[in-house]
Structure 1
Amino acid sequence: MNEPTIRWQAPSAEHMRQAGARIAKLVHGGDVILLSGPLGAGKTTFAQGFGRALHIDEPIVSPTFTIARELNGQFPDGTPATLIHVDAYRLGGNDYAPGQNSVDRLLDELESIGLDEELESPGAHSVILMEWGEQMAAALAPQRLEIHIDRPLAEPDTNHEANSKPIPSEDAYGELTSEGERTITITPVGDQWVARLQDHLA
């Protein structure tokens, strides 16, 4: 079964949240969602919409300093849902053991914080939303949904380079700037997600 790639455009923060909510309405317990993109692309904004659709009342912020946060909500059918929001940005340093590759190092770090088993076998009511975790997700989750967010780079004014516009970014509250439409690329990995996207998003 071919892996269909879907692309959406998000011209504003609210469009990004709506994209997150639309994906959240497709998730089941045990799902792993990989969220990637450059700094300021809108990953946390997407996660806010994702959490809103799961009826999570707590604020969703970047979990960088805690690595993972567990948030309680509900799936669309009303059953309990636990969102495990992971930020793997700080995982996988340069202090490798002899002969140890980067993936093994990352997996060791996941084990040390108790997330390796969650990724391999998420609970029946758990959904993992992982940022910056491409290597780990590929190693542990053969069935997953990969979402990549791209943001445009500002084009400098060739006549007045000193006055060129800054690269669009998120402000302290996770809002996208008014400049720069984001592109969201959605790629299912594994037959289960391929079939689900073909059924609901085609």
Structure 2
Amino acid sequence: MTVVVRRVGPEAAAEVLAVVREAFGARPPLDPPADALGEDEASIARMLSVRGGLVATLDGVPVGCAILDVGPDGIVLRRFGVTPAAQGQGVATDLVEAAVEAATGRSAVRVVAREELPETVGFWERHGFVVTGRSSPYVELALWLGTTFDTPDADTMRRLGERVGTSLVAGDLVVLTGELGAGKTTFTQGLGEGMQVRGGVTSPTFVIARVHPSLVEGPDLVHVDAYRLGGLDELDDLDLDTSLDSAVTVVEWGAGLAEGLAEARLEVVIERTVGDAPAEGELDPRRVSLRWVIGK
């Protein structure tokens, strides 16, 4: 049997709701009842419109799901469940791994479990989550994530960008900071591969901005070089053929300038891990720090 986990949005509300009802309906009666049992297709679609969710299929049949929500310092998993017939097949573990990928750059993945279900609490603890709080009948758990990555070469930088690209949704803003030659464009190339957009990503220095349309009905990638922009007003004059609300916008040299483009942003800072440039023929490693910021 083959488990496949895919990222979904509001369009998958019906199949997510079906899994939620089957998974949560099979659990022992709780007092108060689980909020999940009161969901309908419209409420699930609203939840999925924030950052989407995950659907796990077993041989093509939806058997597991999780909705991704945003917390102050991480991603919160909501409506995490696996249908009874699919339990014991590794579906839940695959969902956790996909959720960690989706939380790249954030400090934690968080969940809330019921204290009446010790096996559920134990599942999260076996996957590295630790209890951070209790408010009967709820148990709060978190898995702490790294936000700093060493990238010894361009391929590693590109793969990190690809991982980040798979976690982004329409309306996201990425602000890249780093000296000339730090690897900002290489990171963005990987990001474009993760998003599956058209066209090879190159430095936008001479055109200020490029739009790379999605090849998979996802968000477009808007790649901006803010080095020669006098302010955000000039971005409006670029006559981009896509809306920033429906695209992922990546701004090189954007610190102190691009923050007003969105309510939240991923700040990517790329630095050399050594003070001086390497000698000829030696590697030039970088350290990449990722930080999600809400507000200005």
- Read off the aligned partner of 1:112 and give its amino acid letter: D
User: Normalised by the size of structure 1, how large is the TM-score?
Assistant: 0.67
Structural mapping, 1:22-41, within 5 Å: 22-41=163-182
Deviations 1:58-90 (A, max 9, x none): 11110011000000124xxx4332100001011
Structural mapping, 1:57-68, within 5 Å: 57-68=198-209
Could you say if the C-alpha distance between residues 178 and 73 of structure 1 is closer, same or farther in structure 2, counting changes exceeding 3 Å?
Answer: farther
| Structure 1 residue 179, shift from structure 2 partner | 1.7
Higher strand share: 2
Runs of 4+ aligned structure 1 residues displaced above 4 Å come to none
Q: Does 1:130 find its partner at 2:251?
A: yes
What's 2:126 paired with? none
User: Normalised by the size of structure 2, how large is the TM-score?
Assistant: 0.47
Q: Does 1:109 find its partner at 2:213?
A: no
| Structure 1 residue 108, shift from structure 2 partner | 2.9
Larger Rg: 2
Q: Aligned Cα RMSD in Å?
A: 2.5
Q: Which moved more, 1:59-68 or 1:132-141?
A: 132-141
In the alignment of these two chains, the number of paired residues is: 152
Q: Which one of 141, 144, 154 corresponds to residue 276 of structure 2?
A: 154
Q: Which one of 190, 195, 198 corresponds to residue 54 of structure 1?
A: 195
| 8 A Cα contact 1:12 1:178, kept in partner | no
What is the CA–CA distance in structure 1 between the aligned matches of 2:229 and 2:279, rounded to whole Å? Answer: 33
Could you say if the C-alpha distance between residues 138 and 57 of structure 1 is closer, same or farther in structure 2, counting changes exceeding 3 Å?
Answer: closer
**Secondary structure of residue in 2 paired with 1:56:** coil
Unaligned stretches of 5+ residues in structure 2: 1-71, 74-105, 108-145
What's 1:44 paired with? 185
What's 1:71 paired with? 212
| 8 A Cα contact 1:87 1:131, kept in partner | yes
- Read off the aligned partner of 1:91 and give its amino acid letter: L
Deviations 1:162-191 (A, max 9, x none): xx836xxxxxxxxxx752210000010128
| Structure 1 residue 114, shift from structure 2 partner | 4.4
Q: Does 1:187 find its partner at 2:270?
A: no
| Structure 1 residue 140, shift from structure 2 partner | 3.2
Q: Which moved more, 1:40-49 or 1:52-61?
A: 52-61
Asked which structure has the greater RCO (Cα within 8 Å, sep 6+), the reply is 1
Q: Does 1:9 find its partner at 2:150?
A: yes
What is the CA–CA distance in structure 1 between the aligned matches of 2:177 and 2:279, rounded to whole Å? Answer: 25
Q: Which one of 212, 218, 226 corresponds to residue 80 of structure 1?
A: 218
What is the CA–CA distance in structure 2 between the aligned matches of 1:44 and 1:154, rounded to whole Å? Answer: 21
What percent of counterpart residues are identical? 37
Unaligned stretches of 5+ residues in structure 1: 93-105, 156-163, 167-176, 192-202
What is the CA–CA distance in structure 1 between the aligned matches of 2:225 and 2:157, rounded to whole Å? Answer: 19
- Read off the aligned partner of 2:218 and give its amino acid letter: P
